[in-house]
Chains A and B, each alone.
Chain A
Amino acid sequence: MTSSDKTKLQIQACKVRMGILLGTYSAKCGHPGGSLSAADMLTYLYFREMNVDPANPKDPNRDRFVLSKGHTAPALYAALANRGFFPVEDLATLRKDGSYLQGHPNMDSVPGVDMSTGSLGQGVSCACGMALGLKYQGIPARVYAILGDGEIQEGQVWEACMFAAHYKLDNLVIIVDNNGLQIDGWIQDVMNPYPIADKLAAFGLAVQEIDGHDFDQIEAALDMARATKGKPSAIVMRTVKGKGVSYMEDEADWHGKAPNEAEYRQGMEELEAELRELEAQ
């Protein structure tokens, strides 16, 4: 990608992060930390990787995305809104009574959401079913699922990995957001899932490890996944929970807490400064 392409993605990622702050601040609850860590990958997927059309969100030939770590819906909603699936201002209705932006993704109410998720471990299995269904019907679309690194403590995730490898779902990419933190603390202290890449490889996936905030590495990994035939791909991306908002970074406390007004203002100021800098490039 050119440096101009990369700047454009960085600008979009910055806007996605602003949407995450807007949503969680307006809702006075929600999950900003894991939303911010996945923001760059979501931006790349929706703005460069996936074949999706906001004007035709149910196109049977579209690529699919499943947010298996459904609690980070603010990031998915912000990516979808910025991509044109619904108005960005609606992000302020997140989790409010009567809003279509449910606390966890709902495929019936939110344009662009391909699977309702929220109960950890289930989305990745649904993504397997989608990948199999597309293959069975001869549709050359791809399926992407983002999982939390805490989420992989769910046994069902490994049932899904076994299934994906067994049925050679090479149209499936499982992305683990390895921000290192879950609600109760560092993942290795709560219930150690490491070594994540080795385990995924042992289950038969083609695994890559990247920096999940580096668009060049994201692009290379997704290109490699696309070129990998006969087995599903997994990308373990090292990320920073709360990435982009200084006081949230690497703090487990920001897993499921909304910013207050002062925190919201500070976060937005940081992101606005970053945006101005990027737009000046």
Chain B
Amino acid sequence: MADIIRKATREGYGRGLKELGAEFDNVVVLDADLAGSTKTGVFKKAFPDRHFNCGIAEANMMCVAAGLAATGLVAFASSFAMFAAERAFEQVRNSIGYTRLNVKVCASHGGMSVGEDGASHQCCEDVALMRSIPGMTVLCPADEVEARKAVRAIYLQPGPVYMRLGRLAVPVFHSEDYEFVIGKGEILRDGSQVAIIATGLMVYEAMKAGEVLAGQGIDAMVINMPTIKPLDEALVLHAAEKCGRIVTCEEHSTIGGLGEAVCSFLSETRPTRVRRIGVQDEFGHSGPAWEVLKDFGLCAENIVKVCADFAREN
């Protein structure tokens, strides 16, 4: 695993958009002065007449995207997660969610891994907000390949989508022939004692943790859950039935994210013991991304510790 390639999911987004633009004329892209960072700039370079910079005005951008979609186009609107999902929440809710228009809100710089910029930019509530909008599909790809494939999948699915992307380069573990399907998770490692359900950059951390746990004699299942809404309930149920213990991992608040989605589902169908790894009702702070992630327990070491303790509990 040491020599694995590292790329940010936002890079997969930029590449995926460019591929999509070449294939479909009705793709238009909006950005709010962050085209270089969100990677919509890759699309802009290829299709300058279909990329519209909205300036630093995210509220307007979301509604412009809705208007574009109302004329039959498929609008991708990007900014940092903090401004796309949080500042412009009500615009997304009313002009995109309520209207069910064909807008894909693709937000980069989600989570603690923004690092040095600190708490004002470390967006750990976006999934909670977006999940709360009726009919909104919520995605959080784990690597560059998955992000790129997700771009095409969300284009082909009519209606609003929120996709969270990351700033940080993370290991690319999917191969080019990986088939991404909205609403489907994947078992990366089978196991029987504890099931780790992870999303985003926590997926690779969970894979590493799975190996370490195996060395300690703990047989962990590792699941990549790129679609947080709608949740792959069949897979969650399978994990719960087979392992009886579930650990969720997300670079997001434990309030309203993947962990809460899993708990909500299981508590009504098959009450199962769950431990949630995520941001524990806190704001972040500045520092190099991996150090900050570690500070909040968002790393393989903490997953190992939580799973080992959990597996040994009666």
Bound complex: CA of A231 vs CA of B119, how far in Å?
Answer: 40
Cross-chain contact A128 with B91 (CB below 8 angstroms) = no
Cross-chain contact B66 with A129 (CB below 8 angstroms) = yes
Chain A residue at smallest Cβ distance from B25: A137
Contact partners of A125 in chain B: CB under 8 A: 59-60, 62-64, 66-67, 91, 95
**Residue A160 is within 8 A (CB to CB) of chain B in the complex:** yes
Contact partner of A159 (CB less than 8 A), chosen from B60, B71, B99, is: B60
B96-110 interface with A by 8 A CB criterion: 98-100
B69-128 interface with A by 8 A CB criterion: 69-73, 75, 90-91, 94-95, 98-100
Dominant SS among interface residues on chain B: helix
- The 0/1 profile, CB within 8 Å of B marked 1, for residues 135-167 of chain A is 011010000000000000001100110110011
Chain A residue at smallest Cβ distance from B50: A136
Contact partners of A132 in chain B: CB under 8 A: 52, 64, 67-68
Contact partners of A261 in chain B: CB under 8 A: none
Cross-chain contact B60 with A156 (CB below 8 angstroms) = yes
Chain B residue at smallest Cβ distance from A124: B63
Contact partner of B90 (CB less than 8 A), chosen from A107, A119, A130, is: A119
Contact partners of B91 in chain A: CB under 8 A: 119, 122, 125, 156
A89-147 interface with B by 8 A CB criterion: 107-108, 114-116, 118-119, 121-123, 125-134, 136-137, 139
**Residue B55 is within 8 A (CB to CB) of chain A in the complex:** yes
Chain A residue at smallest Cβ distance from B75: A129
**Residue A60 is within 8 A (CB to CB) of chain B in the complex:** yes
Cross-chain contact B28 with A108 (CB below 8 angstroms) = no
Chain B residue at smallest Cβ distance from A145: B67
Cross-chain contact A163 with B70 (CB below 8 angstroms) = no
Chain B: residues with Cβ within 8 Å of the partner, total of 29
Contact partners of A123 in chain B: CB under 8 A: 63
**Residue B65 is within 8 A (CB to CB) of chain A in the complex:** yes
Looking at the assembled complex, report how far the CB atom of B5 sits from the nearest CB atom of chain A, in whole angstroms.
37
Q: Which of B55, B60, B69, B90 has the most CB of A within 10 A?
A: B60
**Residue B133 is within 8 A (CB to CB) of chain A in the complex:** no
Cross-chain contact A163 with B57 (CB below 8 angstroms) = yes
**Residue B54 is within 8 A (CB to CB) of chain A in the complex:** yes
Dominant SS among interface residues on chain A: helix
Cross-chain contact A126 with B63 (CB below 8 angstroms) = yes
Cross-chain contact A159 with B90 (CB below 8 angstroms) = no
Chain A: residues with Cβ within 8 Å of the partner, total of 33
Bound complex: CA of A280 vs CA of B99, how far in Å?
Answer: 44
Chain B residue at smallest Cβ distance from A131: B67
Chain B residue at smallest Cβ distance from A156: B59
Chain B residue at smallest Cβ distance from A167: B52
Cross-chain contact A116 with B94 (CB below 8 angstroms) = yes
Contact partners of A126 in chain B: CB under 8 A: 63-64, 66-67, 70, 95
Chain A residue at smallest Cβ distance from B94: A119
Looking at the assembled complex, report how far the CB atom of B156 sits from the nearest CB atom of chain A, in whole angstroms.
20
Chain A residue at smallest Cβ distance from B55: A162
Contact partner of B73 (CB less than 8 A), chosen from A122, A137, A155, is: A137
Cross-chain contact A128 with B60 (CB below 8 angstroms) = yes
Contact partners of B99 in chain A: CB under 8 A: 107-108, 115-116
Cross-chain contact A114 with B95 (CB below 8 angstroms) = no
Contact partners of B64 in chain A: CB under 8 A: 125-126, 128-129, 132, 160, 163
Looking at the assembled complex, report how far the CB atom of A203 sits from the nearest CB atom of chain B, in whole angstroms.
12
Cross-chain contact B57 with A129 (CB below 8 angstroms) = no
Chain B residue at smallest Cβ distance from A160: B60
Looking at the assembled complex, report how far the CB atom of B103 sits from the nearest CB atom of chain A, in whole angstroms.
9
B contact residues vs A (CB 8 Å cutoff): 28, 49-50, 52, 54-55, 57, 59-60, 62-73, 75, 90-91, 94-95, 98-100
Given contacts A125-B66, A130-B71, 17 further A-B pairs with CB under 8 A are A116-B94, A125-B63, A125-B64, A125-B95, A126-B66, A126-B67, A128-B67, A129-B66, A129-B68, A129-B75, A130-B67, A132-B64, A132-B68, A133-B67, A156-B57, A159-B54, A162-B55
